């Protein structure tokens, strides 16, 4: 079982939240990762000097590879629901930070990794990055509020296209779909772009930035609250289903899943 740790750094007035995985491993999301993210986010929320937050990964070619399927496969329905609740809570706290949050996507982003990116205010991706909502192939659905955030970003038809097919989309197409906001040539260009964004944020009044983010969130709040509540209820039922067990078992056994056919 792998998993990545969440490491906070400081660059002047700005915080960087890094996902760091063991040598030779992939940056996957575990319950411990969710807990670590929530802890770091709360510390940033209590630091009034922070002007922006950047989400980044130390892996050479992957931003986040999604949930740790080995961990999920070892959990019963009750503990899986607890895992999902922990992830939802961490991403809700990330999304509600009073300062701008930027996801720096230098590599591939899968499943729950896309949910983390969607909790940011702005997504910037290198041209070679690919994003894919892979949950359905394992009998799962986004467990961190990703359906609501995705639909809010790209609209109903595009959200369904991404969720049902699970196909990877490269950064250029993701920008057309409004899944990412900016595309840059490579990792160095990404670092330059982030530095420029931080400098621009520093020129703006900090209280004005906080007030504007709060106002934008308030404009979306009524629709989002109802949608998140429905998504949580639906996800809980999905996590208790035989389909979830079969999907994760098939992944562990490296075989195609055998989905049951609903009767009636």
In CATH, what number is assigned to the domain containing residue 16? 3.90.226.10
Residue appearing with tokens 């895992």: 83
Domain limits for position 11? 5-203
Q: What is the total count of domains within the chain?
A: 1
CA distance linking residue 184 with residue 61, whole number of Å: 15
Q: How far is CA 214 from the centre of its chain?
A: 21
Q: What is the pLDDT along the chain (264 residues), one digit of tens a residue?
A: 457 999 999 999 999 999 998 887 889 999 999 999 999 999 999 999 999 999 999 999 999 998 898 888 888 878 888 888 899 999 999 999 999 999 999 999 999 999 999 999 999 999 999 999 999 999 988 988 999 999 999 999 999 999 999 999 999 999 999 999 999 999 999 999 999 999 999 999 999 999 999 998 888 777 677 788 888 888 888 878 888 889 889 988 999 999 987 765
- Pairing status of strand 52-57 against strand 101-105: parallel
Question: What is the DSSP secondary structure assignment for residue 29, as one 8-state letter?
Answer: B
- pTM (2 d.p.): 0.91
Instruction: Return the H-helix or E-strand segment holding 13.
Output: none
On whether residue 229 sits in a domain, the answer given is no
Does residue 190 lie in a domain region?
A: yes
Q: Would residue 263 count as lying in a domain?
A: no
| Residues 114, 146: Cα–Cα separation, whole Å | 8
Asked whether residue 213 is assigned to any structural domain, the reply reads no
pLDDT for res 91:
95
Q: Judge whether 256 lies within some domain.
A: no
């Amino acid at each position: 079982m792998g998993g990545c740790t969440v490491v906070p750094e400081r660059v002047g007035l700005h915080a960087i939240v890094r996902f760091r995985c063991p040598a030779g491993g992939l940056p996957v999301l575990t319950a411990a990762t969710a807990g670590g993210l929530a802890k770091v986010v709360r510390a940033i929320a209590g630091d009034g000097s922070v002007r922006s937050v950047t989400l980044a990964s130390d892996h050479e070619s992957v931003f986040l590879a999604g949930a740790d399927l080995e961990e999920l496969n070892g959990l019963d329905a009750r503990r899986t629901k607890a895992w999902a609740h922990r992830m939802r809570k961490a991403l809700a706290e990330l999304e509600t930070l009073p300062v701008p949050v930027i996801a720096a996507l230098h590599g591939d982003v899968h499943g729950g990794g896309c949910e983390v990116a969607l909790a940011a205010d702005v997504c910037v991706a290198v041209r070679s990055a690919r994003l894919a909502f892979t949950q359905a192939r394992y009998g799962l659905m986004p467990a961190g509020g990703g359906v609501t955030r995705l639909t809010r970003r790209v609209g109903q038809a595009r959200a369904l296209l991404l969720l049902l097919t699970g196909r990877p989309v490269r950064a250029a197409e993701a920008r057309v779909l409004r899944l990412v906001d900016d595309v840059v040539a490579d990792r160095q260009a990404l670092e330059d772009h982030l530095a420029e964004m931080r400098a621009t944020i520093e020129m703006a009044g900090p209280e004005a930035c906080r007030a504007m983010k709060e106002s934008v969130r308030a404009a979306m709040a009524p629709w989002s609250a109802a949608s998140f509540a429905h998504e949580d209820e639906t996800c809980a039922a999905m996590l208790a289903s035989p389909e979830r067990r079969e999907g994760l078992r098939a992944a562990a056994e490296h075989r195609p899943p055998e989905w049951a056919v609903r009767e009636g």
